[in-house]
Amino acid sequence: MRITDIRCYVVEGEHPPVPFRWRKGLPGSGDGTPIDQRPKLAILRVDTDEGITGATTIADGEAVASLTRRRLKSFIGDDALLTERMWTKMWEIDRIEETNMAHFGLIDLLAWDLKSKKAGLPAYKLMGGNGPKIPAYASTVTWNEMGEYERHIKECVDEGFVAFKLHAWGDWKEDAKLCRNLRKWTGDDATLMFDGSAGWDLTTALKFGRVLEECDFYWYEEPMREFDLTSYRKLADSLDIPVLAAETSDGAHWNAATWIDMAALDMVRTSSFYKGGLTGALKIAHLAEAHGMKAEVHGMGVANAHLAAAIPNNDFYEQLVFSTEHIKRLRKLNELPIIDGFITAPETPGLGLDIDWVALEKTALAVI
């Protein structure tokens, strides 16, 4: 199945319907576009000589348009079913481009969309297939007050969640109080996780890790920036709680292998959008499995749901929760509803993007 064309449509997007923030020091929701302007998105389309069309979408539309014009057009004529060959070609392009991690996997996601449609099978079965039903954890944004956490966590309990992850304030003493409260609110049997969002140094990360051990948390995620692997090794050596890392590090499975070789983590992060699409994510998952490690899938979306359903060494699907209204709407979502704490990966072929191309041609700000 040969690629005959690749196009990028730049369109106006929307600001997040529920603005939210992360810990002190980090940017909040949205991409930084001023509120009186609309963010730009990219919709990528790939056509083939068999009449099958693939699509994916991502933020940062103008940068993706440039990448499409200069680099992605070089994939025209390639066999879209040779996902390993295409992944390696993009890796070679990345050597010069230093491609945004979220953009590196775009061609791979397009290829898997085509491959799934060609086969008439859901992507998770093509990638191996472990099981379509996956437990979801409620992953908080950072709320302002302790009372907001309590209210929203209890709303998640009422919706059937039994696993929860905190994004907190970045003040380790206040965050420790929140972690102890989370255990009280959810009970002894709940699975609890904490994401430090890379806010601390080694000394603080060690002190806080012992609080998590006291509260019987399941994992301790990214407490420090992911450059100093020596500090991560010291942290993993010093704590009993598993350290989960390598979420934002570049280099796909080669970088993950370095983390494992240095014993700088106990669980590895993988995802379809930071690790080179589904092909790169699978490489990391299989690498981790060969070392007896979990490869926990980071982030939401149809591609990640298929990834979570494809591999045996992932525990959960991550579901961000923003507000009371959002939490109560999760079981009614058209795409990936969460019913009693579980999602089910779609059985339909493709990665879920259904586009009215005729309308898009008329409304796009630019077409590359």
Per-domain residue ranges of the chain: 3-120+353-367, 125-344
Q: What pLDDT was estimated at residue 62? A: 94
120 Ramachandran zone, left/alpha/beta (phi>0; psi -120 to 50)? left
Count the helices and strands in the chain (H runs, E runs).
14, 13
- In CATH, what is the architecture of 125-344? Alpha-Beta Barrel (3.20)
* Among 338, 300, 337, 298, CA closest to 315: 298
With beta carbons less than 8 A apart as the criterion, state whether 309 and 131 touch.
Answer: yes
With beta carbons less than 8 A apart as the criterion, state whether 40 and 62 touch.
Answer: yes
Q: What pLDDT was estimated at residue 336? A: 97
Q: Tokens 């993950």, residue?
A: 256
The residue type at 238: S
* Among 98, 122, 109, CA closest to 6: 109
What's the CA gap between 155 and 162, in Å, rounded? 12
The residue type at 167: H
Q: What pLDDT was estimated at residue 172? A: 97
Name the CATH superfamily housing domain 3-120+353-367: Enolase-like, N-terminal domain (3.30.390.10)
* Among 135, 194, 126, CA closest to 349: 126
- Residue 236's Cβ-side half-sphere holds a number of Cα atoms within 13 Å equal to 22
List average pLDDT for each run of 10 residues in the chain, which is 368 residues long: 98 92 94 93 98 96 96 98 98 94 97 98 97 98 98 98 98 98 98 97 98 98 97 98 97 97 98 97 98 98 98 98 97 96 98 95 96
**What is the CA angle 187-193-197, rounded to 5?**
145
Q: What pLDDT was estimated at residue 70? A: 96
Which distant-in-sequence residues (6+ apart) come within 8 Å of 291 by Cβ? 260
Q: What pLDDT was estimated at residue 120? A: 98
